[in-house]
Structure 1
Amino acid sequence: MENINKNKLFLASCLALITTAMTFAIRAKLETVFGPDGIGLTLEQLGYAFAPAFFGFTIAMIVGGPLVDLLGIKKITWIAFFTHIIGIVLTLMADSMTSLFIATLFVGIGNGMVEAALNPLVASMYPESKTKMLNRFHVWFPGGIVIGSILGWLIMDVLGLSWQVMVATLFIPLIIYGLLFFGEKFPVTERVQLGISNKKMFKSVLNPLFLFMVFCMFLTAASELGTTQRIESLLKESVSAPLLVLAFINGIMALGRLSAGQVVHKLRPSGMLLYSAIITFIGLWLLTITSGGMTFVAAAIFAIGVTFFWPTMLGFVAEYLPETGALGLSIMGGAGMFSVSIVLPVMGKLMDDANAAEALRTMSILPAILIVAFLGLNIYMKKQRKTVEA
């Protein structure tokens, strides 16, 4: 990869992901601004208003995935940059469910284009350590949520400034990542490097193992992001500052992803996913019965569980199904975000009609299903390794 500054591209990619992640934390805080105690939207209406953050992300990834190979990583990265700008400006102007919906859609498309372009970028730059480097890249999703959560708490709860000031902080990482990417040379995607045809790529996404992983991505993403996105409403009766619990969860996740290389070596991706599902189930169940300081204990267990879900799912596909290319990674990410767009209104309805504990109990069903699914995946992968060794 001559004339390609991998360190600079990786740093810029991390800042782009920080921008993406900060939108998640800031959106969680906006529940209090636009919700029943603010502008007056119900929690179900908020679920619909925020859903485009996830299905917009899905559309961007499904469309952007094939375009990454066709147009190149660089062009998709700049599409992400400009849609981020539009989404942030429209969010600052939002004053109703409709305007919030449109603003959130643009933010979601920007976020999806970041993932569509930069997951293949990282995989292409580090072909010998994909799962490790994708985990390191995705350190900055929880890392960005920590930054956004603390900024939201400081700006609104401590300093008493307006929510618009909080949203405007998104321009800081946005401008920096734009400047870092400007003028840089990008590598071609790994699929292009390997010379895999479009026909083979599209055929490979019908592989039963890939379809199984897409199904699991629905559940892993919903378990993690469905819960954390509605943290303000879920935990407002349990703790005084739910946004700090969000920062706490994501701080643990960031630290965990930094050590991903060692964990992958010991457990392999399929083993990581099984243990993650077990611990996530325990954490969600504990969140239904704890309050006060013990909420942080339950949150820590939940955080340990969801830490490796997203990047390891992507790493598994990149390692074991490389012929799916950028399209495969985009379908995975898109499936994950689409599942959250379905879950958010359902959770809102449960909280409007019953209570937060009921919503959390319902969410705990998802990792319970994953325990069975990943147990089967481990058995399958062990058989595959034995076949190869024989």
Structure 2
Amino acid sequence: MNQRRLFIASCVALIATAMSFAIRGDIMGQVQQELSLTDVQVGWILGAAFWGFGLSILFGGPLCDLLGMGTIMRLAAAGHIVGALLTIVSTNFTVFFLSTVVVGIANGLVEAAINPLIATIYAGNKTAKLTTLHAWFPGGIVIGGVLAFLMTQVGFGWKAKVLTLLVPSVIYFVMFMGQRFPATEREAAGVPFGDMFKELARPLFVLVWFCMILTAGTELGAGSWIPTIFNRVTQSATQAGILQVVWINMVMYLMRQFGHNVSHKIAPTGLIAVSALVAAVGLYLFSHATTVTAAFLWAGVFAVGIAFWWPTMLGITSERFPRSGALGLAVIGATGSFATALSGPVMGWISETHGTAQVLPIWSGLPLLLIVIFGAIYMVDKGKGGYKAEKIA
């Protein structure tokens, strides 16, 4: 088993996933005009990306044990390649919607397989390696966003942008070819399949599951609305909101890539509690920024706060509930995706009911709950001798 090759291929697969989100978001305006789509149809297309993502994570997790992680990753690569090709031949809503579903499923299969894969091959260093791995989601957003922006400047159309998705897809498909994949940690330890479901009923797991709604809703929910809110509130003539997204994801990439060992210096539960305070302050002050400089400053603070959340939540799940196996990671990942999909309409309702400028100040209250919950878990763990990763006998 080539441990390093599997890790690098997983990173490239995550880049493909992130690029698909960035590029599809960039091209929707042009696609809507060329294919004569209504706003409702655009809403269905954007929603399909998240729902397909979440559902395939949820069902792909248990399939990692039944089919093997290698099979899941090959199916994901095939989905990315077929989905990209189907997208560029789309001539109407139905075909474009179907292509979005295919790519969304591929994205979910990637997330469903790479998390238990990395948790298995780096069993003694799960949170740090998951953090390094997930640096490439914001990294992929930056790559896709910048690439799409530059292609726009030189006159390339939306189909050419979609074709760029084939590059990382083919690379990770080739890198996974011929590789031996390990059994999942749960399977290798001989834990019965049914025991995965029992782990999901533990009170602490339910609490972590609820917190994933808060972390994903804050990170990706607010993140997806920031450019729109920034442009509306500041009446930006240059539509500089998209640059906020690139900036936030750049900061997150740097934090995850070069700060992944922070989980060894502070317990993961304490890390989320402390960073939640930073995120709440950054989001609240960003909502009151009146200049571009201030907006970039506080968006950067917000990015620092949320940078470690997604991989740390996965790390906590794998370390505290190892018997839940790929299913536990799939449930947490899918919950994050569904929370993101649902947060959009909720934030839209807040915008219509209280005014656009009030959305982020209200939303900044979500991290405050994380401070309380994870602060309490941290103190309980400390009373028992500190945070400890559970081992499967």
**TM, length-normalised to structure 1:** 0.90
The DSSP-based 3-state class of the residue aligned with 1:236 is helix
Q: Identify the range of structure 1 (276-285 vs 26-35) with the bigger mean alpha-carbon deviation.
A: 26-35
Amino acid in structure 2 at the alignment position of 1:298 = W
Aligned partner of 1:254 in structure 2 is: 253
How far did 1:159 drift?
Answer: 1.8
Q: Is the 8 Å Cα contact of residues 84 and 110 (structure 1) preserved in structure 2?
A: yes
Amino acid in structure 2 at the alignment position of 1:85 = I
Aligned partner of 1:21 in structure 2 is: 18
1:143-162 to 2 correspondences below 5 Å: 143-156=139-152, 158-162=153-157
2:91 and 2:26 map into 1 onto residues whose CA distance is 15
Aligned partner of 1:170 in structure 2 is: 165
How far did 1:289 drift?
Answer: 1.5
Q: Identify the range of structure 1 (86-95 vs 147-156) with the bigger mean alpha-carbon deviation.
A: 86-95
User: 1:213-232: CA deviations, max 9, x gaps?
Assistant: 11111111121112233444
1:344 and 1:360 map into 2 onto residues whose CA distance is 12
Q: 1:355 to 1:135 in 2, by over 3 A?
A: same
2:282 and 2:329 map into 1 onto residues whose CA distance is 28
Aligned partner of 2:336 in structure 1 is: 336
2:356 and 2:162 map into 1 onto residues whose CA distance is 27
Q: 1:356 to 1:28 in 2, by over 3 A?
A: farther
- Alignment: residue pair count: 383
Q: Alignment RMSD, CA only?
A: 2.5
How far did 1:196 drift?
Answer: 1.1
Q: 1:30 to 1:223 in 2, by over 3 A?
A: farther
User: 1:68-90: CA deviations, max 9, x gaps?
Assistant: 01111111111111222233233
Amino acid in structure 2 at the alignment position of 1:248 = W
Aligned partner of 1:215 in structure 2 is: 210
1:83-232 to 2 correspondences below 5 Å: 83-94=79-90, 99-156=95-152, 158-232=153-227
Amino acid in structure 2 at the alignment position of 1:145 = I
How far did 1:168 drift?
Answer: 1.7
Q: Identify the range of structure 1 (98-107 vs 293-302) with the bigger mean alpha-carbon deviation.
A: 98-107
Q: Identify the range of structure 1 (12-21 vs 357-366) with the bigger mean alpha-carbon deviation.
A: 357-366
Q: Indicate yes or no: 2:314 matched with 1:314.
A: yes
Aligned partner of 2:286 in structure 1 is: 287
Q: Share of identical aligned residues, percent?
A: 40
Q: 1:304 to 1:113 in 2, by over 3 A?
A: same
Q: Is the 8 Å Cα contact of residues 37 and 93 (structure 2) preserved in structure 1?
A: no
The DSSP-based 3-state class of the residue aligned with 2:261 is helix
Q: 1:327 to 1:370 in 2, by over 3 A?
A: same
User: 1:303-332: CA deviations, max 9, x gaps?
Assistant: 101100000000011111111111100100
Q: 1:350 to 1:99 in 2, by over 3 A?
A: farther
How far did 1:65 drift?
Answer: 0.8
User: 1:217-248: CA deviations, max 9, x gaps?
Assistant: 11111211122334442332445332222121
2:90 and 2:292 map into 1 onto residues whose CA distance is 34
Q: Is the 8 Å Cα contact of residues 41 and 97 (structure 1) preserved in structure 2?
A: no
Aligned partner of 2:244 in structure 1 is: 245
Match of 2:228 among 224, 233, 236: 233
Amino acid in structure 1 at the alignment position of 2:171 = I
1:295-374 to 2 correspondences below 5 Å: 295-351=295-351, 356-374=356-374
Amino acid in structure 1 at the alignment position of 2:304 = I
Q: Is the 8 Å Cα contact of residues 64 and 330 (structure 1) preserved in structure 2?
A: yes
Q: Is the 8 Å Cα contact of residues 48 and 344 (structure 1) preserved in structure 2?
A: no
How far did 1:277 drift?
Answer: 1.4
How far did 1:49 drift?
Answer: 2.7
Q: Unaligned regions of 5+ residues in structure 2, if any?
A: 389-393
